[in-house]
């Protein structure tokens, strides 16, 4: 009997992720997030409060934060190009390289605060910051992200950041950058397209395009978490 129970529990956790919340209707959370469209990041704690205070469950509160970010923060292609150019330029000069990284970090946060534009680390950082202000445990995960144009085998260094979030005592994965939209391959402009699938995606599906530096954050069975 105990064994059956154990197997049942085990298989339940393997299904996991959004299935845990299959019965949750996110309409209210999404509506609250929509009502804050265009809100400023200057008073972030107050924004977090507005997004979460009227929602009862952890998953709905987190959803409102996620939905807001994915509909209000733009991916900045020029910022990315600028960073790539400089990283290449200073690749052989560690002093200049570190100077650049420090000044780019400042620029990144300034752009995020004042223009609500960023690149992926900015999305993951903002989600972590907002989730923590709402009282959640949230991690920023660095690793390798595989896209249509960049395959895992060609990646020599980490290129992507995403999040792990603890809801009701259990960790889940999400990718706010890829949930927010796409860069048009012809104009290189950013377009908001909400990709729901990256919100609390099942770990086995998530692992197809995400490889964290620390394998415990795959959240797959057999990894130590």
Partner 1 sequence: MKIFLSHSKNKLKSNGLIPLVILLTFFTLPIFAQDATFLVKGKVSDEIGPLENAVVVLKGTDKGVATDTNGLFTFPEKLPSGAILVVSYLGYEKQEVMFTSNLTFLDITLSEENIDILEALMVEDIEEAKKKQKQKKNQ
Residues that bind partner 1 (CB under 8 A): 41-46, 49-50, 53, 75, 77, 80, 83, 101, 104-106, 108-109, 112-113, 119-122, 125-126, 129, 132-133, 135, 140, 142, 144-150, 158-161, 177-178, 181-186, 188, 191, 193, 195
CB of 155 to partner 1, least distance (A): 9
Q: Which phi and psi (to 5°) does residue 150 adopt?
A: -125, 110
CB of 145 to partner 1, least distance (A): 4
* Local structure of residue 87 (DSSP, 8 states): H
In the complex with partner 1, which residue's Cβ is closer, 2 or 42? 42
CB of 147 to partner 1, least distance (A): 6
Q: What are the distances in angstroms from CA 112 to CA 157, 165, 178?
A: 24, 22, 17
CB of 216 to partner 1, least distance (A): 18
Q: Of 79, 190, 200, 203, nearest to 131 (Cα)?
A: 200
Separation CA 47–CA 79 (nearest Å): 26
Q: Which phi and psi (to 5°) does residue 207 adopt?
A: -70, -15
Please calculate the CA angle 109-200-79 and round it to the nearest 5 degrees: 25
In the complex with partner 1, which residue's Cβ is closer, 186 or 224? 186
In the complex with partner 1, which residue's Cβ is closer, 25 or 42? 42
In the complex with partner 1, which residue's Cβ is closer, 145 or 203? 145
CB of 45 to partner 1, least distance (A): 4
In the complex with partner 1, which residue's Cβ is closer, 72 or 75? 75
Q: Which phi and psi (to 5°) does residue 12 adopt?
A: -60, -45
């Amino acid at each position: 009997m105990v064994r059956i129970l154990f197997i049942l529990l085990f298989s339940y956790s393997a299904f996991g992720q959004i299935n845990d919340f299959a019965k949750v209707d996110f309409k209210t959370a999404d509506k609250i997030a929509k009502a804050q469209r265009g809100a400023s990041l200057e008073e972030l704690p107050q924004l977090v409060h507005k997004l979460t205070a009227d929602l009862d469950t952890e998953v709905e509160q987190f959803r409102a934060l996620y939905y807001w970010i994915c509909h209000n923060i733009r991916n900045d292609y020029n910022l990315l190009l600028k960073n790539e150019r400089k990283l290449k330029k200073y690749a052989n000069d560690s002093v200049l390289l570190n100077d650049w990284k420090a000044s780019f970090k400042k620029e990144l946060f300034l752009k995020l605060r004042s223009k609500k534009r960023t690149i992926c680390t900015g999305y993951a950082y903002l989600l972590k910051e907002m989730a923590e202000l709402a009282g959640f445990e949230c991690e920023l995960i660095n690793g390798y992200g595989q896209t249509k144009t960049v395959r895992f085998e060609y990646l020599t260094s980490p290129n992507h950041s995403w999040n792990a979030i603890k809801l009701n005592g259990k960790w889940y994965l999400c990718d706010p950058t890829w949930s927010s939209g796409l860069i048009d391959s012809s104009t290189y402009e950013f377009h908001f397209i909400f990709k729901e699938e990256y919100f609390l995606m099942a770990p086995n599906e998530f692992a197809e395009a995400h490889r964290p530096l620390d394998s415990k954050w795959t959240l797959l069975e057999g990894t130590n978490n």
